[in-house]
């Protein structure tokens, strides 16, 4: 049962409000927010803070929404507290941003809540809201944080009603004679949360009348486990993450993560993503999973993440790059140190693929059976495709690059010196590479280990056109 004393204790236990705080309460006019509004008014003198009411008109429900706004205004006048209403066009914002109206409304509400820089923002979330969030996140895919439900305190956001059920809120309103508005869209099952609230949760309570309580307890334990895992992962993040390229690039050296449990590795990867992005929203478990899988892929493989972040496997390490480090012309990455790498896609179905190099030249590639005769041409080469183990990329040189020769190998750097390549051109010259092995350096040579032999089964035909000879 909700009482002023119980809510007072929740606020004190979680240090939600300090003396002299200006506390803005989001008030829609429904039972939850009206209950919270009256409790804030009852506690203002006892706790010495200044409550205000904020109503957001979503521009969706026409006359009903107008009546909600007017009702809240009049109740605030009776209670003697400040009232502000803001009108937004949720449908237009949702259409512009490609969001559901539900998500668009949430984003706009929170933007408005922070306007005017209040000390605290009181939101009327209750027990069922937390369970709905847990289930919603579980159904769409989430990590441990999403399974922790809604938090009592999150920055300026406070939720004094979170321990209480919707039924307790309605009982409080009846006992206090508090009237409230009913949003007819709460029954609209086209909204995912409404289906959870009106269909799934009642079924769970039929299985066990204490289902809500048990799910909340589980969420609390999950949140405690998450905090512990994140504290452990932070140590590995500090060891493995190179932040010298921030805010444009973050490099995760994977060697320090060898042998650690997958759950810690995932936490480190998520920390990398959110550090570069600057927030956690829209970074889901599937993004972390796909990035973790990239660590076992061939060098040069890439993955796109939200907020125009690209992750590339570079010889086992992961490069997290913002979009201003990614060329839109090819599948390429330009690292701040000047090293440029372009994935050379090869289709297994034998269809020709093409990329363009920065100097304007064009490279085509096609997988084929070994021809009976291989012509000797300067800018068309036939290579043993099955010898390429790490994925074909066109790139500029890196320290440690080598090219195979008959009976051994030599440094690409030494080859450039022998061939009298001007020093100013050495870092701009593109060649086909497999890991740190040069496959073909146009105008110079093919790596001996990639030449077609009697044992060759599949040939990669590579044609370079438009090169300045």
Contact 241, 252 (CB under 8 A): yes
* Coil/strand/helix, residue 270: helix
For residue 335, what pLDDT is reported?
42
Q: Which two structure tokens, joined as six digits, stand for 377?
A: 């041409």
Is the pLDDT reported for residue 294 higher than 70? yes
Q: Which two structure tokens, joined as six digits, stand for 57?
A: 């008109």
For residue 84, what pLDDT is reported?
95
Encode pLDDT of 94-139 as tens digits: 888 888 888 888 899 999 999 989 999 999 999 999 999 999 888 8
Say which residue, 237 or 280, is predicted with more confidence: 237
Average pLDDT over residues 133-148: 85
For residue 468, what pLDDT is reported?
55
The band of 339, judged by pLDDT with boundaries at 50, 70 and 90, is low
Cα gap 101→88, rounded to integer Å: 12
Cα gap 244→266, rounded to integer Å: 22
Say which residue, 283 or 27, is predicted with more confidence: 27
> Cα angle vertex 21, ends 23, 12, to 5°?
90
Average pLDDT over residues 4-14: 96
Is the pLDDT reported for residue 336 higher than 50? no
Cα gap 275→246, rounded to integer Å: 9
The band of 300, judged by pLDDT with boundaries at 50, 70 and 90, is low
Residue carrying structure tokens 């949360």 = 193
Q: What percent of the chain has pLDDT over 70?
A: 94
Cα gap 389→439, rounded to integer Å: 11
Is the pLDDT reported for residue 334 higher than 50? no
Cα gap 127→112, rounded to integer Å: 24
For residue 283, what pLDDT is reported?
83
Distance of CA 17 to the CA centre of its chain: 31
For the chain, what is the radius of gyration of the CA atoms? 30
DSSP 8-76: HHHHHHTT---TT-EEEEE--SSHHHHHHHHHHHHHHHHHT-EEEEEEEE-SSSTHHHHHHHHHHHHHH
Q: Going by DSSP bridges, is the β-strand pair 340-343/437-441 parallel, antiparallel, or unpaired?
A: unpaired
Encode pLDDT of 349-405 as tens digits: 788 888 887 777 889 999 999 988 888 888 999 999 999 988 888 888 888 899 999
Is the pLDDT reported for residue 149 higher than 60? yes
Say which residue, 468 or 77, is predicted with more confidence: 77
Q: Which CATH class is domain 4-220?
A: alpha beta
* Alpha-carbon torsion, ordered 59, 63, 69, 71, to 10 deg: -160
Cα gap 150→156, rounded to integer Å: 14
Encode pLDDT of 301-326 as tens digits: 777 788 888 888 877 889 998 864 44
Does this chain's domain 4-220 share its CATH topology with 243-328?
no
Residue 35, number of CB atoms within 10 A of its CB: 27
Average pLDDT over residues 170-174: 96
For residue 323, what pLDDT is reported?
65
For residue 329, what pLDDT is reported?
42
Cα gap 279→287, rounded to integer Å: 14
Average pLDDT over residues 158-184: 92
> Cα angle vertex 73, ends 67, 74, to 5°?
90
| H or E stretch covering 362 | strand 362-369
Average model confidence (pLDDT) across the chain? 88
Encode pLDDT of 405-430 as tens digits: 998 999 999 999 999 888 877 888 88
Is the pLDDT reported for residue 337 higher than 60? no
The band of 194, judged by pLDDT with boundaries at 50, 70 and 90, is confident
Cα gap 106→129, rounded to integer Å: 14
Is the pLDDT reported for residue 55 higher than 90? yes
Given the candidates 3.30.465.60, 1.20.1730.10, 3.10.50.40, 3.50.50.60, the CATH classification of the domain at 243-328 is: 3.30.465.60
- The structural domains of the chain, with segments of one domain joined by +, span 4-220, 243-328, 340-465
Cα gap 213→128, rounded to integer Å: 9
């Amino acid at each position: 049962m909700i009482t002023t004393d119980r809510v007072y204790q929740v606020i004190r236990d979680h240090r939600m409000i300090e003396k002299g705080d200006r506390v803005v309460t989001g008030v829609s006019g429904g039972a939850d927010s009206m209950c919270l509004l009256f409790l804030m008014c009852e506690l203002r003198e006892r706790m010495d803070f200044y409550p205000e009411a904020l109503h957001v008109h979503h521009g969706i429900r026409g006359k009903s929404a107008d009546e909600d706004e007017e009702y809240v205004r009049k109740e605030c006048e009776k209670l003697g507290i400040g009232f502000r209403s803001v009108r937004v066009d949720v449908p237009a914002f949702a259409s512009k941003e490609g969001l559901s109206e539900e998500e668009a409304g949430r984003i706009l509400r929170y933007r408005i809540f922070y306007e005017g820089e209040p000390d605290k923002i009181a939101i009327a979330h209750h027990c069922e809201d937390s369970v709905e969030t847990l289930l919603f996140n579980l159904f769409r895919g989430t990590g441990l944080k999403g399974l922790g439900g809604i938090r009592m305190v999150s920055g300026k956001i406070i939720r004094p009603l979170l321990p209480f059920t919707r039924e307790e809120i309605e009982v409080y309103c009846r006992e206090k004679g508090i009237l409230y508005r009913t949003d007819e869209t709460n029954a609209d099952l086209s909204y995912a949360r409404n289906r959870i609230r009106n269909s799934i949760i009642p079924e769970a309570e039929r299985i066990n009348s204490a289902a809500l309580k048990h799910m909340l307890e589980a969420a609390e334990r999950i949140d405690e486990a998450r905090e512990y895992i994140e504290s452990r992962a932070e140590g590995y993040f500090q060891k493995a993450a190179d932040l010298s390229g921030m805010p444009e690039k973050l490099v995760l050296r994977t060697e320090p993560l060898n042998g650690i449990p997958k759950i810690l590795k995932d936490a480190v990867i998520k920390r990398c993503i959110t550090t570069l992005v600057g927030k956690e929203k829209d970074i889901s478990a599937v993004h972390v999973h796909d990035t973790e899988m990239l660590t076992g892929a061939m060098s040069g493989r890439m993955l796109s993440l939200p907020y125009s972040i690209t992750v590339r496997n570079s010889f086992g390490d992961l490069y997290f790059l913002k979009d201003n480090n990614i060329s839109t012309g090819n599948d390429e990455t330009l690292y701040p140190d000047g090293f440029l790498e372009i994935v050379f896609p090869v289709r297994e179905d034998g269809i020709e693929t093409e990329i363009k190099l920065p100097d304007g030249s064009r490279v085509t590639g096609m997988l084929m059976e070994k021809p009976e005769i291989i012509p000797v041409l300067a800018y068309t080469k036939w290579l043993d495709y099955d010898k390429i183990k790490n994925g074909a990329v066109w790139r500029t040189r890196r320290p440690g690059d080598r090219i195979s020769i008959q009976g051994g190998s030599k440094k690409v750097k030494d080859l450039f010196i022998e061939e009298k390549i001007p020093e100013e051109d050495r870092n701009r010259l593109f060649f086909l590479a497999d890991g740190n092995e040069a496959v073909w350096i146009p105008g110079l040579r093919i790596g001996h280990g990639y030449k077609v032999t009697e044992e060759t089964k599949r040939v990669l035909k590579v044609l370079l056109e438009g090169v300045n000879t």
